[in-house]
Amino acid sequence: MNRCGPTIKSAVSASARCITTRSISRPTSSRTETLTVFSAPRSIYTTAAHAGASCQQRQQQPSPVALARSIQLAAIRSLSHSSAARASATPPPPSDDEPSSGPTAADDPNVTPHVHTLFTTLTHAINSSTAAPDGLRRLAYALRTPADAALFQSALKRWRTAKNHQDRTDNILFFDRLFAVRAYDVLLDILCDRPAYRLLPDPVHIDLLLKGFREEIQQRGGDVDEARTIEMLDQVFKTFAVALYTDVPPTADMYAQVIMACLESSTKEGERRAVITAKEQASLGLPLNDDLKQRLAAIEA
């Protein structure tokens, strides 16, 4: 057991339990899984407040449990805020005159014209309650770029708000298409808001998302824009937190992906996080491979 406190898994699970036991059940709402963090234990907010916006600005190195709580809070904050807003008031449907809240073919050259046309047509159909059952699937099949995926995210949210049918087969397709176009940021954003999108990951999806963000960090190796590299590293940690939040158990391979992403960021902050994460992995009794042991030993030497 880590002397700094409980393990990441137990800390995140305990936080989530405290939050969900304070959920507000509203008989007029069809969403019974709305989370309310406003009544969560004060310790969660204290940890987050002292964590700061950037790990580089901290005067003291946080314990693994503090790091776990801060990234878990970041992962569910958007979920809780949007859920609370939906619980208090249902927003009016978008106007036909303003079909898109995302990028358009006019303002983003990376949006495929065909996808934009499908999105606009589908939005009008959703607003008029005439959407075909396969409308969202046809949009998913047409995705070609991450910018297309951002439009799909908007369509998925509208689709669910209109209470159109969405089953596990649809979700498998949505995951496949979003990974195919390497829309990792869009995927993570969707996973952070479970009530809005109802897209729940399997372990394989978490693994693919961790590897995807890690590949992007590898491609930026030695980039002079360290702040952007740290932002990408934050996405890795948020993915890990989402895994725990959705009851995907941590594995040695998941930890290895996180640690390697830290090391491959070629930043001091990445090295610091790698050491903290490795210690947490050891506290869980999960084995650390020899290559990582050697690289971490060189850092701490």
54-64 pLDDT, tens digit per residue, is 333 333 444 44
**Sign of the C-alpha dihedral computed for residues 165, 171, 172 and 176 taken in this order:** positive
Interatomic CA distance for residues 100 and 97, integer angstroms: 9
Output the pLDDT for position 221: 65
Output the pLDDT for position 278: 96
Find the mean pLDDT for residues 164-178: 95
67 vs 1: which has the higher pLDDT: 67
Quick check: 276 pLDDT over 60? yes
Per DSSP, helices labelled H in the chain are 8-20, 42-51, 64-88, 113-127, 135-142, 146-161, 168-180, 184-191, 194-197, 203-219, 226-245, 252-264, 268-283, 290-300
Residue type for 167, please? D
Average pLDDT, the chain: 74
Distances (CA, A) of 188 to 12, 124, 272: 18, 27, 24
Residue type for 142, please? A
Two structure tokens written together for 240:
């890990």
Interatomic CA distance for residues 233 and 245, integer angstroms: 19
Residue ranges per structural domain of the chain = 94-199
222 vs 68: which has the higher pLDDT: 222
Find the mean pLDDT for residues 193-208: 94
Residue type for 45, please? Y
